[in-house]
Structures are given as C-alpha cells and as structure tokens.
Copies of this chain bind each other. A is one copy, B any other.
Amino acid sequence: MGISKIDKMHNLSKNQQIIFDLIDKSPEPLKAYTILYNVQKRGIKAPPQVYRALDKLVEMGKIHKIESRNAFIACHNSSCQVDKATAFSICEVCEKVTEISSTGLSKYLANFKDKDGMKYNKYNLEFFGLCKKCRT
C-alpha cells in the first residue's frame, strides 16, 4: 500500500508522487512554497523535501521549471522524456502557461549551431504574449 504498481513503473518515490500529483492536477504553474503549504497535511514539512522531489521530477522530465516564473508545471508532452528540449508559451496577463510541442520548432532548435559551431545538448525557450482569452 502507499505506492501502487503503476507508480513504481514511473519510478516515483512517496514524496515525488505526492508532489507530482499536486502539480499535475494544477491548471497553473505552482511555486515551491505553494507546493509546500499544500502538502504539509501529507507529511512533507520542510523546503528541502519539496526541492529534492522537484529536482528529481525535473531530471525525469515529469515536470518542467518555468524559469521566468520560478514555478513548475507537469509535462503533458509524451515525447518529452527528459529535461533537454523545452518550449513554453506564457500569457503575460493571466499567467497561463502551455508547453509547446512543435516538431518543426524542436528540429530547428536541436540542429541550431552558433557561429563558433557550438553544439548544444539542451535548450529552454519561453515565449510571452497574450492568450486567446486575454486577447479579446
């Protein structure tokens, strides 16, 4: 009990699962201390517990950090297994964040080389604008 078979397949520990579930259910990015407040009733009482789980979940590609917001969202892009190639759209009015899943974009960026011929192993892209709702 506690951790089911399916959870084990996802390789999530108890704290990781609690924190992932919370982020996954949230319609908006969650900040570390918001997460902390929301999982204290489940026994997670201190920042390091939250940050450790977040770090692992990011490594696994289960969640992504929105750097410009210091907040985390669950990955809903099935092809996105690791934290290597991420792109997001962020509404500057309502703060809605959506993960962008564009083959064209990811191919373009994965193959991008700068002037020095530097090849990258990872990128993060954040677009800012107005979402549909906030545009009208």
Contacts and interface: CB of A to CB of B under 8 A. Distances in A.
Contact of A123 (B67, B118, B128, B131): B128
Interface in A43-82: 67-68
A16 interface: no
A127 B122 CA distance: 6
Contacts of A105: 112
Contacts of A108: 108
A114 B122 CA distance: 21
A39 interface: no
B128 A125 contact: no
A17 interface: no
A25 interface: no
